[in-house]
Amino acid sequence: MESAYRRGSLIVLFTVLASGLLCLATARGPRGGASAAQDLGDGAYDLGAFHLTERSGDAVTDATLADRVWIGSFIFTRCQLSCPRITSIMRSLQERLAGDDVLLVSLSVDPDHDTPAILADYAKRFGAIAGRWLFLTGDHDAIYEMIAKRFHLTALANPAPDPDGKDEAIVHSDRLALVDRGRIVGLFDSQDSKALDELISQAKRRALPRWVRALPAVNASLNGLCTILLLTGWVLIRRPGSDRSTRVAPAVFSASDALHHPATRGHVIAMALAVTAAALFLGSYLFYHFHAGSVAFRGQGSTRWLYFTILLSHTVLATLGVAPLVLITLYRALRGDFARHARLGQLTFPIWLYVSITGVVIYLMLYQMPVSTSTSSY
């Protein structure tokens, strides 16, 4: 292996080791907020059929919300303790999610009292926007069955409420549920600011158009294609005779001389396509994260350490290594300086190859790795 290849490989190895040590040094135990923001992951489940009534008097069923992303809360209008706080938080979500296709839904746990008219007055007090924030009531037994058996949350009459009003007449969860097109995908503690931030981030991302949500897979495919093109270009340029212009008096050969060899032409085409794939990836990546924000990694333990080691080394090498090196290497080729182009290309190749491969690995770990979580009532 030429010395430039060795240097490039050593740069990759050093960056990976340094990233691993840094991640290990800053690693923490299980995050205390894990229960506050419970991403159900592969444990997401169907909400099932329901038939409720909105404050406007309109019927709202599972079919009505089948294609929507929505955040659900559980309240009742006679509640003087937790419900005003929960509804105020929902009002803040209405403001923070302005412009996003996320629906808010408040479900009454006191349906015998909370008629559509009462809910309409309650919604008006909190500035609920019609069409963006629904207030639902319905059959008592159906609602309680829905909360207990589908959301796996608590709602029950308090058998001995405090006469001074220090206890609520109905004990119910203050968690907020995230529902994505008929599936319950997360439960979030309304009293935890980090959980609420995670709720907003997930809701925004899930509400994006389907083609935008497909971009991470597209980006991984572009990284995979770039890997194949890099290896193809590398194999072609190492064929006997293909790099004659860089070995024998390189200064006397023009670009047309270098392209005389079929393998060299193939190398040029492969590398040009690799640069194109990388540029398309960068544009698509920036576009996606501009709209979707950051995506939290859900794994724990050693898997979490491994993920952030790969991510950190990938980011450092992509930003400080691949971007400038590829541009300079390409510039030297365009100028016909093939000897210096070849030397820098050998240094660039293992770094670029690592960044392309790990781009696919990061996608698989972040979006495709199974995450099992158990559900419990709160």
Q: Which residue's entry shows tokens 């009534």?
A: 53
Averaged pLDDT score across all residues of the chain? 87
Check whether 167 has a pLDDT greater than 70: no
In this structure, what token pair is assigned to residue 71?
């955040």
pLDDT at 376 > cutoff 60: no
Q: Are 196 and 332 in contact (CB under 8 A)?
A: no
Overall average pLDDT of the 291-300 stretch: 85
Evaluate if residue 225 carries a pLDDT over 50. yes
Report domain extents, the chain: 3-31+212-368, 37-191
pLDDT of 164 above 80: no
CA 234 – CA 239 distance, rounded (Å): 9
Q: What architecture does CATH give domain 37-191?
A: 3-Layer(aba) Sandwich (3.40)
What are the tens digits of pLDDT across the range 69-121? Answer: 999 999 999 988 889 999 999 999 999 999 899 999 999 999 999 999 999 99
Q: 51-54 and 155-157 as β-strands: parallel, antiparallel, unpaired? A: unpaired
Q: Is 182 exposed, middle or buried (0-12, 13-18, 19+ CB in 10 A)?
A: middle
**Tens digits of residue pLDDT in 335-347:** 888 889 989 999 9
Model confidence band, residue 371 (pLDDT cutoffs 50, 70, 90)? low
Q: Does 341 appear as a known binding residue?
A: no
Residue 23 has pLDDT above 60, yes or no: yes
Mean pLDDT of 294-318: 92
DSSP string, 17-81: HHHHHHHHHT--SS-GGGTTEEE-BTT-EE----EEEETTS-EEETTTTTT-EEEEEEE-TT--S
> Concatenated DSSP letters for 210-252?
HHHHTHHHHHHHHHHHHHHHHHHHHHHHTSTTTTGGGTS-GGG
Instruction: Give the whole-angstrom CA distance, residue 31 versus residue 38.
Output: 12
Is the model more confident about 68 or about 241? 68
Q: For residue 296, what pLDDT is reported?
A: 84
Write the pLDDT tens digit of every residue in 169-196: 888 999 999 999 999 999 999 999 999 9
User: Is 50 exceeded by the pLDDT of residue 327?
Assistant: yes
- pTM for this model (two decimals): 0.81
Rounded Cα distance between 331 and 347, Å, is: 15
Task: Evaluate if residue 257 carries a pLDDT over 60.
Answer: no
CA dist 65 and 62 (Å) reads 5
pLDDT at residue 238, rounded to an integer = 84
The pLDDT > 70 percentage for the chain reads 87
Instruction: Tell me which of 50-54, 282-286, 334-338 is least confident.
Output: 334-338
C-beta neighbour count of 200 within 10 angstroms: 20
* Token pair in block for residue 377: 């009532």
**Do the beta carbons of residue 196 and residue 188 sit within 8 Å?**
yes
CA proximity to 178, closest of 334, 68, 98: 68
What share of the chain has pLDDT > 90, as a percent?
Answer: 70
Whether the predicted pLDDT of 269 surpasses 80: yes
The answer on whether 172 is annotated among ligand-binding residues is: yes
Question: Span 43-47, mean pLDDT?
Answer: 87
Per-residue pLDDT, 36? 62
The answer on pLDDT for 166 being more than 60 is no
Q: Give the DSSP letter of residue 128.
A: P
Hunting for tokens 């030429």 — which residue is that? 2
d(CA 338, CA 250): 7
Query: Measuring CA to CA, which residue among 313, 98, 292, 97 is closest to residue 209?
Result: 292
pLDDT surpassing 70 at residue 249:
no
- pLDDT of 275 reads 96
Q: Residue 108 in 3-state DSSP?
A: strand
Predicted confidence at residue 160, as pLDDT, reads: 65
pLDDT score recorded for residue 354: 97
Helix axes 338-363, 262-292, angle to 10 degrees: 40
Rounded to the nearest angstrom, the gap between the alpha carbon of residue 261 and the centroid of all alpha carbons in its chain is: 45
Q: What is the pLDDT of residue 181?
A: 94
